[in-house]
Amino acid sequence: MIGIIDYGMGNLFSVSKALERLEVPYKIGARPDEISDCAGYILPGVGAFPDAMKALNEHGFIDFIKHKVVSGVPIYGICLGMQLLFEESEEGGLTRGLELFPGKITRFPGEDEAGRHYKVPHMGWNQLQLHETSHPLMQNVGEEYVYFVHSYVVNTSSEDILFAAADYHRKVPAIVGKSNLVASQFHPEKSGRAGIQLLENFCKRMVKQ
């Protein structure tokens, strides 16, 4: 059983529909006790980082997520859910994250090193550049196109957690992971074959049903 963490800031419908397509059992919980017995968890996210951290705290999920990670339970963060796993974000003022990955979230500057302006947010289909292929999450995933929508981006010096990147006027961490904790900046449930493959790998290769 997969638990979808509902703290009021995730696209629960599209994630749940993707799991139904994969015939993966799931339940949605707005409090830890509602999904405490699940074998793996998805942390979706849409919106602003400070609001999300406040909501996670109010719903009692901060310690719950950290405990599950330490206990070896698989967790998959999606979009803002990925960013929340890092140390801090500058969005709306400096806000501490869950501190499960090293790094900081900053806004795309909208201008490259040559002074050329570009659009923010990074929105649309972009190609993955694979850095790691041996992890169970990455099985049968190629350098395919996936769907991004984000104005803030991960900055980390820890190359060992980088599974895949994309290029949008700079290197954009697209998939990160370490052992049982994985995440993607893009929306796998909206990313065609590659996204569905990632969700299937998480639910059927990483999670012990």
The residues annotated with a catalytic role in the active site are 79, 187, 189
How far apart, in whole angstroms, are the C-alpha atoms of residue 77 and residue 101? 12
Rounded CA-CA distance 106/26 in Å is: 33
For residue 132, what is the enclosing H or E element?
none
Helices (H), 2-130: 12-21, 49-58, 62-70, 80-83
Structure tokens at 53: 């951290």
Q: How many CB atoms lie within 10 A of CB 19?
A: 18
Q: Select from 72, 63, 1, 69 the least CA-distant residue to 31.
A: 63
Q: Which among 177, 2, 46 has a CA at the least distance from the CA of 100?
A: 177
